[in-house]
Amino acid sequence: MDSEDQRLVVIMGAGRHGRNAADIFRWMNYPILGFLDDTKERGSKVVGVEVLGGFTEAHDPELLRRAAIHVAIGNSNIRRALAEAVTAHGGALCSAIHPTAVISPYAKLGDGLFIAPYVRLASQCTIGTGCILDPYCTIGGDSTLGPFSMLAAHCSLVAGSQVGAGSFLGTHVAVLGVSIGAHSVVGAGSVVTRDLPDNIRAFGTPAKVQGPADWSRPPV
């Protein structure tokens, strides 16, 4: 792979999230080779970027040689499955990180992240692979966000908070140094004052468990 080729990006998903990722790669001055999306016509354009084909094109060794892949799908389970298929085929995941994000050099970052404008990541926080952090999220020191989780805009994990893999926190959720399990959904505006388990749906101030998480419909 020559150094020119290494800078190309292919975005999987040309929906709302994919369009936001394209904006960020443009702000980063990364050339975008195209989108992959099963629901869009090959050769069509979305925000001026060509749709190269469907998701399975991301298994093409020639494409993976030319470009790194950014998976821009809001649903955590689908995002994980697509990302894992890319890496299983030898591809590299790349992150979309807006230049206004303020990231400690001591933050530990996974691959394939989406980090929106004005995100703040404090020293020695850990962000797992494939996470999405929308605008104005703040992650305090020694906090951990598990892989393929998503924080909607204005979420705050105060220092020492833990969120398990594949969880979704709605907009304006505050986690006060406690733990949320894996694959859980926390509703918009909640204040999480006590640990929450895996696979639940919770909301309120303080956040209370309402029942099991329902991943058959998107929490967004």
Ligand X SMILES: CC(C)(COP(=O)(O)OP(=O)(O)OC[C@H]1O[C@@H](n2cnc3c(N)ncnc32)[C@H](O)[C@@H]1OP(=O)(O)O)[C@@H](O)C(=O)NCCC(=O)NCCS
Nearer to ligand X among residue 109 and residue 188 (C-beta): 188
Nearer to ligand X among residue 70 and residue 201 (C-beta): 201
With contact defined as beta carbons under 8 Å apart, do 58 and 36 qualify?
yes
Beta strands in 4-135 (DSSP E): 8-12, 32-36, 45-46, 49-53, 67-71, 96-97, 102-103, 108-109, 114-115, 120-121, 126-127, 132-133
At its nearest, how many Å lie between ligand X and the CB of residue 203? 4
At its nearest, how many Å lie between ligand X and the CB of residue 198? 16
Note the residues at the interface with ligand X (CB under 6 A). Answer: 152, 170-171, 185, 187-189, 201, 203-204, 210, 219-220
Nearer to ligand X among residue 68 and residue 113 (C-beta): 113
Nearer to ligand X among residue 147 and residue 219 (C-beta): 219
At its nearest, how many Å lie between ligand X and the CB of residue 46? 19
Alpha helices in the chain, H assignment, sequence order: 3-6, 16-27, 61-66, 76-88
At its nearest, how many Å lie between ligand X and the CB of residue 204? 5
Q: How far apart are CA 167 and CA 128, in angstroms?
A: 12
Alpha helices in 28-174, H assignment, sequence order: 61-66, 76-88
Nearer to ligand X among residue 33 and residue 131 (C-beta): 131
Q: How far apart are CA 156 and CA 177, in angstroms?
A: 10
At its nearest, how many Å lie between ligand X and the CB of residue 180? 13
Residues 6+ apart with CB under 8 A from 99: 27, 28
Q: Token digits for 148?
A: 């393929």
